[in-house]
Amino acid sequence: MKVKHRRISLPIIMILIIFGIVALTEFSPINAANSKFTQEKTDLVTNAGFESGNLQGWNQHWKTRQASITEDAFSGQYAVKVGPGRGFCLQEVMVKPNSLYRITAYLKTNTGAEEVQLIVSDYGGPEKAVSIALPDYTKVSIDFQTSFVTEKLIISIAHLFGHGHGYADDIQLTYLGEAPEPKIQEFVDISERGIKEEGGVAQLPDEKVEWFQNNRFGMFIHWGVYAAMDEGAEWVRHDQAWGHEFYQRKARDPEKGFTASKFDASQWTDLAKKAGMKYMALTARHHDGYSLFDSKHPSSWTSQKDLGRDLIKEYVTAVRASGLHVGMYYSPMSWRYPGYYDVTGKDAKPNVWGYKTAAWHKADARDMKEEVYEQVTTLLKDYGQIDYMFWDGGWLGQTVDHEMEDYFWDSGKYQNPDNEWPIREKYITRDNDTGKALGIMGLVRECQPDMLVNERFSWIGDVHGEEGGSMTTGDIRFEHLEEKCVSLQKGGWGYRPDRPVFSVEEVVGFLSNCAVRNMNLLLNVAPDREGVIPQNQQEVLLEVGSWLEVVGKAIYGTTGGPWQPLFGEYGFTFNDNKIYCHIYDGYRELNSGTFTTQSLGDKTVSKVVNLFNGEELIWVRNENNTVTINGVDYTESPAATILEITLNQPVFKE
Ligand code: GLC
């Protein structure tokens, strides 16, 4: 079995967990650090197993009051149950400052619950959470470090969405010891991005990916017929187990269906530009198989057929005219085909529609593949230059079997002439030199030689993805291009009018935390069935844009470094002879008006400016070659204060 780097999206992971294929839910970012410490007190939580038979020691959220005691316990007699809908059960716990802790709990969900979360917050760093959606009690854990001034923190059990419940039992907080003294850092080693090859196709060279890296911030758009469904977001057809005809009827409902009647792509591009975004990626087709473009495959279901409009053409034309880079999202997987769950016709994977193994599924899977080839070829050939393709879902039957996926899809340069799922000649593009039928990546490099792709279609990808609404952590990514995608609307990528959105501070936090790790941020908006991006999403974007207008040079065209970030406290970007210090709340709250850098070695500082207000600041050089900057106004800029340090020479020599 080949080992590949591949990201599996959250809903998929949940499905895998539910089906028992992946059994890992533990999350421990500071494992390495812990081993040195002997574990101490573990009974820090009051009524940790709810054995008092009531919520003694725990609070509820004053608005929801959706927590109660249940006898469905992991151990002992009782546990807590949160939900339906929004429910919290919280406890404030006294802790020591500057210390390492681990919190563990046993969690599960019942039918109708989207997920249950264990959250730790107010400990002096950004909120941390781990969530699961599993029918059996499963242990989860979070490691974290309290700040220098932390005295107490909050532990919560939360159920946010769905008509089911989350369950929790035996919530344990363990003191692991004093936090290690952070060492003063020298400049990091800027390692080269290695160019890898797979399936006969190499990743794009540096000069072709530079625009992506320099631009840092893009707009993701999830838009399709699901925008018209009240019952859910883009997974609604799956989650409601609707059949194709029923779903289609809902989509075509003249009153409440998908009309795109107010869709004006130039309004989206205007918004993206005002938000400081430099590229866009729209769902040309999601897992439900509805295509926003003019696909000629006989099985296709498209906006051209339903609305007489090629929405992708309108989009592509507007994005190009606006000067932004053109990106698309395309899902190879399609719920429309029972064969998707049973490609061999011999082994149906579990699925919500109750499809059982059937020999005809093999031909059905072939049709699905052929439709993908026709559609991918159309997108690559008929829409001019495409700069970025975000594939989503080469998985078969929502499970992961890389070898099978490579084989089934012919994801490399050429198709295997003996493939058991052959596509007809009229949907094949042949290589000019060899006459061989091109596989997916062969087609990509043939038709769009400069287009970047991600790793979600059985090929390594030029870009790797991180998905989801928690802040990016960890070290600077040098070895490959990485992009975080997150939905501005919390919970769901497709339109859900009732859901809250991330705040300006949170979005600025996402973007800055990506930049200091050398990553891009692809932020999703969810237009409604008429094609309008909701007001609350627009407002946040415009404010982020205003922030970027002032501090943009700390983001665009920069590289993460020259020092590693310290999560929740600070991180850095640099460009030529400038270092940008991104300073977050964990640090801002503790240091009134000063910031101390890591070691500058033999470099000298010639100027320091607070980018947000343009104020020049004074500094002193310390004995260990760090510099302490004074008079920093930490009150003005949202989420991150940015200081620009000008050196007397480039940070790194060419
Ligand atoms: C996942 C989901 C999907 C969403 C995507 C965004 O793959 O299946 O709904 O489009 O992630 O990254």
| pLDDT at residue 123, as a whole number | 85
Is the Cβ atom of 370 under 6 angstroms away from ligand 1?
Answer: no
| pLDDT at residue 3, as a whole number | 29
Neighbouring residues of 614: CB distance < 8 A, sequence distance ≥ 6: none
Alpha carbons 199 and 407: distance in angstroms, whole number: 11
Domains of the chain, earliest start first: 22-178 (2.60.120.260), 215-552 (3.20.20.80), 560-647 (2.60.40.1180)
Is the Cβ atom of 483 under 6 angstroms away from ligand 1?
Answer: no
Tokens 């992009």 locate to: 483
- Closest by Cα among 316, 309, 295 to 258: 309
Query: Identity (one letter) of the amino acid at 364?
Result: D
Centre of ligand 1 from the C-alpha of residue 523, in Å: 12
Centre of ligand 1 from the C-alpha of residue 281, in Å: 13
Alpha carbons 343 and 156: distance in angstroms, whole number: 43
| pLDDT at residue 393, as a whole number | 86
| pLDDT at residue 271, as a whole number | 98
Tell me the per-residue pLDDT of 180-190, one tens digit each, with 9 for 90 and over. 877 899 999 98
- Closest by Cα among 466, 568, 557 to 513: 568
Q: Whose CA is nearest to atom 11 of ligand 1?
A: 9
Whether residue 84 has a cis bond before it, omega within 30° of 0: yes
The kind and range of the H/E element at 563 are: none
Q: Whose CA is nearest to atom 10 of ligand 1?
A: 493
Centre of ligand 1 from the C-alpha of residue 326, in Å: 19
CA distance to 105, 144, 176, 177, per residue, from 41 (Å): 16, 16, 8, 10
3-state SS, residue 465: strand
Centre of ligand 1 from the C-alpha of residue 490, in Å: 13
Return the number of other C-beta atoms located less than 10 Å from residue 12's C-beta. 20
| 439-475 core/surface letters (b: 16 or more CB in 10 A; e: else) | bbbbbbbbbbeebbbbbbbbbbbbbbbbbebbbbeee
Centre of ligand 1 from the C-alpha of residue 338, in Å: 20
Centre of ligand 1 from the C-alpha of residue 262, in Å: 25
> Quick one: which atom of ligand 1 is closest to the CA of 220?
6
Centre of ligand 1 from the C-alpha of residue 335, in Å: 14
Alpha carbons 641 and 610: distance in angstroms, whole number: 8
Q: Whose CA is nearest to atom 4 of ligand 1?
A: 493
Query: Which residues in the chain land under pLDDT 50?
Result: 1-39
Alpha carbons 568 and 561: distance in angstroms, whole number: 16
Centre of ligand 1 from the C-alpha of residue 624, in Å: 47
Alpha carbons 102 and 173: distance in angstroms, whole number: 6
Alpha carbons 535 and 72: distance in angstroms, whole number: 43
> Quick one: which atom of ligand 1 is closest to the CA of 524?
6
| pLDDT at residue 470, as a whole number | 78
Provide the whole-model pTM: 0.79
> Quick one: which atom of ligand 1 is closest to the CA of 465?
12
Q: Ligand 1 pocket: which of 10, 286, 292, 392 to mutate (most atoms <8 Å of CB)?
A: 392
Phi, psi of 157 (to 5 degrees): -110, 125
Structure token digits, residue 239: 């989650």
Contact 292, 309 (CB under 8 A): no
- Beta-carbon-side half-sphere exposure of residue 206 (alpha carbons within 13 Å): 5
Centre of ligand 1 from the C-alpha of residue 533, in Å: 19
Alpha carbons 445 and 389: distance in angstroms, whole number: 12
> Quick one: which atom of ligand 1 is closest to the CA of 494?
9
Contact 428, 456 (CB under 8 A): no
- Closest by Cα among 585, 576, 635, 577 to 610: 635
Alpha carbons 553 and 511: distance in angstroms, whole number: 13
Is the Cβ atom of 595 under 6 angstroms away from ligand 1?
Answer: no
Tell me the per-residue pLDDT of 196-237, one tens digit each, with 9 for 90 and over. 999 999 999 999 999 999 999 999 999 999 999 999 999 999
3-state SS, residue 327: strand
Contact 414, 431 (CB under 8 A): yes
Is the Cβ atom of 392 under 6 angstroms away from ligand 1?
Answer: yes
Residue 469's Cα: distance from chain center in Å? Answer: 6
| pLDDT at residue 61, as a whole number | 66
Q: Whose CA is nearest to atom 7 of ligand 1?
A: 9
